[in-house]
Structure 1
Amino acid sequence: MGFDAIEVITVKRDRGELSAAQIDWVIDAYTRGEVADEQMSALLMAILLNGMNRREIADWTQAMIRSGERMDWSALDRPTADKHSTGGVGDKITLPLAPLVAACGAYVPQLSGRGLGHTGGTLDKLESIPGWRASLSNDEMLAVIRSAGAVVCAAGAGLAPADKKLYALRDVTGTVESIPLIASSIMSKKIAEGTGSLVLDVKAGSGAFMKNVDDARELARTMVELGTDAGVRTVALLTAMDRPLGLKVGNALEVEESVEVLAGGGPADVVELTVRLAREMLEAAAVPGARDPEQALKDGSAMDAWRRMIGAQGGDPDAPLPKAAESAVVTAPASGTLVTLDALKVGVAAWRLGAGRARKEDPVSAGAGVVLHAKPGDEVRAGAPLMTLYADEAGRFDRALQALEGAYEIGDQDGADLLPLVIDRLTA
């Protein structure tokens, strides 16, 4: 059945409910170029202002999935589990998590993306490993997952092409912040990946896309409903991003910290969240006889899976990681307790140092970033290093230091007033 774009726009403009047929038509027609950008822009703004109900969001998501291919892992002899994070500062969890879950008994097919702005991209981090390849064919993905248990790579152009086109339009029309549109964008790609179960890590705090916990909880709930309605076992953790995760922010720096975790060390918050998400993934996938993630970190089997995964994608797990040519130290201006450390400001500093990009086509520096020497709640001494900045050119330090103005507070409190690392857990 054909519709008229203006008819569909006015339904949502007037706070009406779009039918499944209207949604199917407008997504398909826009993907084919029959509906113009200005018409879809008007519809997106109407959705941002007036919202969508659960049925509409589910239909919108399914229409985007049908715009492209859907992957199939039924040939594998173990359950599949995937994880998606809404992103943050120092959020390198995918790197140790994928091989850890593989070492515990599930297959992990993970399609990841690149960073934009202050949030780092998993593919940018892994590309700092010499030789590692992000782009794989479907046959190559299957071969890697069979040999290593996990694969982390770029999504192909055939996966939810409607979402790619809509995302670019939302970016330039002020309609990014709509929860129905964010949820359907994320979940159309994740459901199209064909995984049997999905664990969502939805961040809340200054360094996250969702700054407050209530908005993050609504996004998490919406995505859990979408996954459940599509027949994918889905659970979400609401986690803190009011301070950076771990101690290292930047591409090669975060690979370095991930390897520390796989070697049985690493910062306590990164280890805690990695293990918690691994347990959620194994439970959601109902892996028979699953191993304990903590044990897999201790006995080296997670590290073995990492080395297989990196090697299977052309990377050399033993090669030295890139280092930035220049460094600058930020010292504590006073003694006391580090009360706050703003994740967003640290993320923007790392971006300005070269670790991130302003446009999708911009290159990133593998060695640039920030290493923290203290986290909120730690005692610091006046004049002692608070963080070290790394860049390929010394001229980048001034703007990074400007971003860090007001980023931290040192006081005499016993402890910082922080969000708990895991705030909530949501299921259908």
Structure 2
Amino acid sequence: MSKPVVAIVGRPNVGKSTLFNVLAGERISIVKDTPGVTRDRIYADVTWLDYHFTMIDTGGIEPDSKDIILSQMREQAEIAIATADVIIFLTDVRQGLQDSDSKVADMLRRSGKPVVLVVNKVDSFEKFMPDVYEFYNLGIGDPYPISASSMLGLGDMLDEVVKNFPEYNKDEAEDERPKVAIIGKPNVGKSSLINKLAQEDRVIVSDIAGTTRDAIDTDIRYNGKEYVFIDTAGLRRKNKIKEEIERYSIIRAVTAVERADVCIIVIDATEGVTEQDAKIAGIAHERGKGIIIAVNKWDAIEKDDKTIYRHTEKIRQILSFMPYAEILFISAKSGQRLNKLFDMIDLVIENNSMRVATGVLNEIVAEAVAMQQPPSDKGKRLKIYYTTQVAVKPPTFVIFVNDKELMHFSYTRYLENRIRDTFGFRGTALKFIIRERKEEQ
């Protein structure tokens, strides 16, 4: 079951980023040891009461003139309508109701998506309430007054947001088919890959950048087994600025990754692996999904006996935060090695949901500790009492220790590598939670 997605839309300077940052709290500091994934924070995981959702900030490049503002807001609204379950439409009580607010409100209303109208910068309810009522004129429901910077009114707003989440019917049979998201930069051959696998032109492809329509799910049968492929190509126009296309493709990737069991990151062999590839791969890594790196257009590369080795080295170097990812060199055009893809998807899904018996796990950890002493600090040495697996998708382990501070990242990585040596876990991230237990007598 994937998490609902909430998008924030609004004019420049109404406080979208402030609201985003306040709701996201400090929890979205990016993993420090992930090189190449310093991204502008476009999305974050938010928890309110018992609800977990992914929030996306559709803002971005702020335009300077009035007419550009409207077209920009339309873009944002389109992204939100295409990807979000609930839309927060943010306005500003100090600037009052603007013409562009009304035009975007019309668009949002027509979309049929749930919209929560929020009026920001209401630092005093007594003083500003008459101005808040003006926003009823937008005709999209009750305005919720908040102050993002003073954190006023956020609870009522979030209650309204979560009320609109799609109801998951518990009785409905969960779709057990493996879900595979095809992610990557524009123009690396994502749609061609799905077409070739589906053996029919289900997805419109042409050589012009940005011709694919909305994300499309394609059902594919292989060897009597069904798979759902999620394509993340976006609604792009030719005259888009590069940063916008990138931002947009990242938002699309977030929503697709959320739904998938396995992510295939498609890289263009003729271009090699890039920073933008690392950003997109980072999303799947952070979400703990199974990961396959598919190097496409391999047929277009001049090769000698070292070519594969050189490409693999480069990928491992730039995507060094995911050394577990499987790599496959393919050609969507000629179909080269595509039969291997399904075996790899099955393997990765199996690893992503693999459970390890606690007894065996503790034997391996004990052996690892005997081989390499745990770190110590000021005469105090790290002790590892017990390790157990608490979840799958991704496999998640809790390690009980005497002092959390002593558990250096590098030692966790060392234990992870020992566990991988034994159980493989190819193609999936592993998550480790370190818990402290008082000294055992």
TM-score scaled by structure 2? 0.32
Larger Rg: 2
Give the number of the structure whose residues are more often helix, by fraction.
1
Give the number of the structure whose residues are more often strand, by fraction.
2
TM-score scaled by structure 1? 0.32
